[in-house]
A and B are shown apart, each in its own frame.
Chain A
Amino acid sequence: MDRITPVEIEEWIKRMGFRYFVDPELKDYNGLVIDIKPRIIVYFSNEMRYSHIMTLLKPLAKIDVPSRERFFKQLLETNAEWNLMKFVIMFRTIGIKIDFDLDSLSFDEFKDGFKALAVAHDEYKRLIEGQESDNMANAMYG
């Protein structure tokens, strides 16, 4: 199986019917911003071996200082419960990220990743922020 290229990923995004744009801030990562809610970015590792999709949830600056330890602990505990998905801090922002190995990635696996991120976003709202879920997963993917 040949390694999937960023050009093919772009074709897949079009095939999924998503609109996207190039963010100059993600230029170094060959990054794209998918114009959906929750906002998802797609970018690549330096050696183009991995592709990443990530939601941007909350800037670090917006987390109350006194509750930071408890908040970060909850994210690490949730990481232990999740499979193939993780809370991360990237670009000074809390997000949920999935890594794909471009040597074995299929279109279906890539597409499923977007739905998984939407479900995880709803879980984050409900369990960690204690807010009513936006039901993004249902709204976007049925």
Chain B
Amino acid sequence: MVGDEPAVVNRKVVEQWIEKIGLPHSTPPDNPEVILIDLKPKMIIIPGEKFMRVSLILGNVNQISTERREMLYQRLLELSGQMNLMKASLHGDTLAFDTDFDMACIDYREFKDGIINTLGGFEKFKKQIAHFVQDGMI
């Protein structure tokens, strides 16, 4: 940590960072552990003890036809190879682009870069999964 960075990064500090970046956010009533970033697409921030995860929600995999799922999964794994610090993941039925942060060494600059990287990565790769949009994703 440098300068005026807090010694311990916790949920409150993360909320302050989100406000400093200027992102609209809320706490889902059914899941007070997470922070919801009210953008389109939605982002969910899950602060943990060791790691914090930022998930950009792509959509529900059940909205993709079975025949095209294999192609989509392969494309997402290929995109994960091209992404920096971000990866495609499947949480139950929900596909997302995830970025993990190590709570032991995260600071505001890294967090802000990570958010920008996540949004930029989504914009960069959106076209490459755009043909799945007609199936209702994103």
Residues of A within 8 A of B (CB): 45, 49-50, 68-69, 72-73, 75-77, 79-80, 83-84, 86-90, 94-95, 97, 99, 101, 104
Contacts and interface: CB of A to CB of B under 8 A. Distances in A.
Given A87-B80, A95-B81, 11 more contacts: A69-B70, A69-B73, A79-B80, A79-B90, A83-B50, A83-B53, A86-B80, A87-B87, A88-B78, A97-B80, A104-B110
B77 A68 contact: no
Interface stretch (B13-21, B24-32, B33-41, B95-103): B95-103
A50 B78 contact: no
A49 B116 CA distance: 15
A80 B89 contact: yes
Nearest to B90: A76
27 contacts: A49-B84, A50-B84, A50-B85, A68-B70, A73-B90, A75-B73, A75-B77, A76-B76, A76-B77, A76-B89, A76-B90, A79-B87, A79-B98, A80-B90, A80-B91, A83-B50, A83-B51, A83-B53, A87-B77, A87-B80, A88-B77, A88-B80, A89-B78, A90-B81, A97-B81, A101-B84, A104-B110
Contacts of B98: 79-80
Contacts, number: 75
Interface string B81-120: 1011101111100011010101001000010010000000
Contacts of A89: 74, 77-78, 80-81
A99 B101 CA distance: 12
A52 to B, nearest CB: 8
| Residues of B contacting A: mostly | mixed
A45 B81 CA distance: 11
A3 to B, nearest CB: 13
A76 B81 contact: no
Contacts of B80: 79, 86-89, 97
Contacts of A83: 50-51, 53, 100
Nearest to A74: B90
Contacts of B73: 69, 72-73, 75-76
Contacts of A77: 89-90
